[in-house]
Structure 1
Amino acid sequence: MLNGMKILIAGGDARYIEVINMLTEHNAQLYLAGFSQLNINKQGVTKVNDLQQHIENMDAIVLPVAGIDDEGKVEAPYSDKPVKINDVLFKKTPDHCRIYSGTAKHQLKEMAKSANRKLTTLFSRDDLAIYNSIPTAEGALKLAIENTNETVHGSTITVLGFGRVGVTVARLFSAVGANVTVAVRKKAAFARLYELGIAAIDMTDLEQHASKTDIFINTIPAPVLTNSIILKMKQSGLIIDLASSPGGTDFNFAKQQGIQALHALGLPGKTAPKTAGRIIATILQDELLSNHTID
């Protein structure tokens, strides 16, 4: 139980509605910024119009999955006005206050460092990323169904990468009858794919494989679907890029070639926000209990 821990939740999409529900169930005292459009009448929940309200009493600040953008703004789709974060705000918190964000770019890290506040990135935890890969893979399957005119069953799918997301994507598409090949580099990945009965190719062989592929699904946050590979694709081919910004696809070149390329970010929040929210809330609560002294 969080027993009255004071937490500022600054922005967040539909997933954070479930985070709010779960944290209040565990007796946290929540202060919400960026939720003015929602009618939330729960014991232990206070909406704030100004981030400065009660900031000197906060035990933790929770930011959205994407953290902050280059202007310091957080994603706040339920707010009537922008929600902006800066290091001055962090400096007004108690010394023990910790900042939690899904991910953190350089600017957020520097803000936390300037304020001498500890920053925890939830998505750096393997367990969260693995749990989150389930709605991500289901979202990718939904996009594949909606953006092609043939069944996924029997289609040739090439998955780039066999990390926490790639494993789940490969398994799910195989389970629905797709002919899945995974492009990897490490020998251990080749061995695991052999054990799973899923075909594997080396990343260096992607160009030769491109003409056979109906759908590319990329999970690698580096330039992998380059011009030479896109040129070899079928005109009816589809790219679903799941990698964090800027992705691993040359989207402009794909568009020039008439190839549909989707940069599918935030799929869990779009396809299964309640499940994805429970995942975030469970991991967040674990971090809160580990990092804070509860009275």
Structure 2
Amino acid sequence: MSLQKKLLILGGDARYLEAIRLLANKGVDITLMGYDQLQFQQKNVKIVNPEYFSYSHLDGVLLPVGGTDLEGKVEATYSDKTIHLTKEMLIQTPEHCSVYTGAANKYLEKLTNQTNRKLTKIFQSEDIAIRNSIPTAEGALHVAIEKTDTTIHDAKVMIIGFGRVGMTLARLFSAVGATVQVTVRNKTAAAKAYEMGLQHVWISDLQKKIKDIDICLNTVPAPVLNKQVIANLKKDCVIIDLASAPGGTDFAFAKKQNIKAIHALGLPGKTAPKTAGKIIGEAMYELLDDKINS
């Protein structure tokens, strides 16, 4: 990677400070928007004003892990200014410029389609997603400890979704002594749960199997914790929803039922920003390196 590789980082949280440090040390030329409250010592890192910046030389645009909102606004922890990704910005970039994000909504997908720019979700890579599941799971355990008034040891835990994050959650909560059940949709997932020494519940049976659960952890970005399921929960059950917005929980109904429900977004950035930032930085370096060699 040479200094010729030019990356614009548009907004971001504490994770991105480590990602910036790592990428700068590897020689990437980094431009920042949404960091006007900070200063950086590396010569190949500069903070610019969106109004006076030329986008014509960029090889990539890195957005916050959460992407944009439905109007193009991005999270910018280190700025009081509102930062947007717009069509006017992207059409100024070279045709080979890619947009990198953690999550993408309809706005971002439409914008990249309209401007014919490649959109890459950095956590779609299996190895990156698995590595990122570790700080996510540790963050979820931290939330569970804070929001419950009993030990996690001996608690009855239901994990909805048995993908990358679900498996890591299951291992971690089992390791600290919880009785863990996981939801499955097929025989392969059921066999994997069995191999891990876990109890499994068919997702179609969730409503009747959730009655005695103390902690419910959701990883599915679909309305799985609906009114019918929530109505069967114990009143002292705690829901921790890790799914991307809008989550998989009917939060309004949970509140009406006096059931504690937390939408715990961005946990890696809150509980382990340095580790999570290193994961993002290394992933971005590989992606930019692949562009050179492709």
Q: TM-score range by the shorter chain?
A: over 0.9
**Does the Cα contact within 8 Å between 1:73 and 1:83 map onto a contact in 2?**
yes
Does structure 1 residue 228 correspond to structure 2 residue 234?
no
C-alpha deviation, 1:160, in angstroms: 0.7
**Does the Cα contact within 8 Å between 2:24 and 2:44 map onto a contact in 1?**
yes
User: 2:146 matched to which residue of 1?
Assistant: 146
User: What is the TM-score of this pair, normalised by structure 2?
Assistant: 0.96
User: 1:258 matched to which residue of 2?
Assistant: 258
User: 1:196 matched to which residue of 2?
Assistant: 196
C-alpha offsets along residues 224-275 of structure 1, whole Å, 9 cap, x if unaligned? 1122221221111100111111111111111000000011111111110110
Q: Give distance in 2, aligned partners of 1:100 and 1:205.
A: 38
**Does the Cα contact within 8 Å between 1:2 and 1:289 map onto a contact in 2?**
no
C-alpha deviation, 1:292, in angstroms: 2.9
**Does the Cα contact within 8 Å between 1:61 and 1:100 map onto a contact in 2?**
yes
User: 2:112 matched to which residue of 1?
Assistant: 112
Q: Give distance in 1, aligned partners of 2:127 and 2:2.
A: 21
Q: Give distance in 2, aligned partners of 1:16 and 1:245.
A: 20
Q: Give distance in 2, aligned partners of 1:97 and 1:206.
A: 44
Does structure 1 residue 184 correspond to structure 2 residue 198?
no
**Does the Cα contact within 8 Å between 1:157 and 1:215 map onto a contact in 2?**
yes
C-alpha deviation, 1:293, in angstroms: 5.3
Query: Which piece of structure 1 moves more, 49-58 or 17-26?
Result: 49-58
Query: Which piece of structure 1 moves more, 25-34 or 222-231?
Result: 222-231
C-alpha deviation, 1:281, in angstroms: 0.9
Paired residues for 1:1-295 under 5 Å: 1-50=1-50, 52-292=52-292
**Does the Cα contact within 8 Å between 2:70 and 2:106 map onto a contact in 1?**
no
C-alpha deviation, 1:212, in angstroms: 1.2
C-alpha offsets along residues 94-117 of structure 1, whole Å, 9 cap, x if unaligned? 222222112211211221222222
What letter is aligned with 2:94?
P
Question: RMSD between aligned alpha carbons?
Answer: 1.4
What letter is aligned with 2:46?
T
* Number of residue pairs aligned between Structure 1 and Structure 2: 294
Secondary structure of 1:191's partner? helix
Structure 2 unpaired stretches of 5+: none
Q: Give distance in 2, aligned partners of 1:52 and 1:106.
A: 28
Residue identity (%): 49
Task: Pick closer, same or farther for the CA change 1:268–1:2 going to 2, 3 Å.
Answer: farther
